[in-house]
């Protein structure tokens, strides 16, 4: 009987120790950006801009230009929605690129069927 109590106690201790680690991994994975901060549509991974070291994805090109008008507004929206943004790659080119360009300095992505004016 004592062996069963010890085994159950050991299992409970392990679960309490490992549980928070597993829960933390799930929250960061589940909150990756999936929606456009401007229009709320599904993101297109080919349409993005790098802003202050983070990669922000959009549904279409038109949303990038809207984002550039007031980036703080849209970054706050993503933060309020607990969205996790990918880190932008650290390259000399992207340090100098402006919103709406990818790491190579080229215009990023192409407009999809999201309903914007692009």
* Contacts by 92-97, CB closer than 8 A, 24 or more apart: 94/50, 97/50
Per-residue model confidence as pLDDT tens for the chain (118 residues) = 788 877 766 776 767 776 665 555 544 456 899 999 999 999 999 999 999 999 999 999 999 999 999 999 999 999 999 999 999 998 655 444 444 554 444 554 445 455 555 5
Domain boundaries, given as residue ranges, for the chain: 1-28, 31-111
**For residue 19, what pLDDT is reported?**
62
Residues in the chain: 118
Q: Would you say 58 and 47 are in contact if contact means Cβ atoms under 8 Å apart? A: yes
**For residue 114, what pLDDT is reported?**
56
**For residue 110, what pLDDT is reported?**
46
**For residue 103, what pLDDT is reported?**
46
Rounded Cα gap, residues 98 and 95, in angstroms = 8
Determine whether 30 is exposed, middle or buried from the number of CB atoms within 10 Å of its CB (0-12, 13-18, 19+).
exposed
> What angle (nearest 5°) sits at the alpha carbon of residue 33, between those of residues 94 and 56?
25
**Any residues with CB less than 8 A from the CB of 34 and at least 6 apart, and which?**
42, 43, 83
């Amino acid at each position: 009987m004592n062996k069963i109590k010890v085994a159950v106690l050991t299992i409970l201790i392990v679960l309490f120790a490992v549980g928070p680690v597993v829960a933390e991994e799930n929250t960061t994975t589940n909150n990756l950006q999936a929606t456009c901060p401007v229009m709320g549509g599904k993101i297109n991974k080919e349409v993005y801009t790098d802003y202050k070291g983070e990669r922000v994805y959009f549904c279409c090109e038109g949303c990038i230009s809207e984002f550039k008008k007031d980036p703080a507004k849209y970054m706050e929206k993503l933060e309020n929605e607990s969205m996790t943004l990918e880190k932008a790659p650290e390259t000399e080119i992207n340090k100098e690129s402006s919103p709406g360009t990818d790491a190579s300095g080229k215009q990023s992505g192409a407009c999809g069927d999201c309903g914007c004016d692009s």
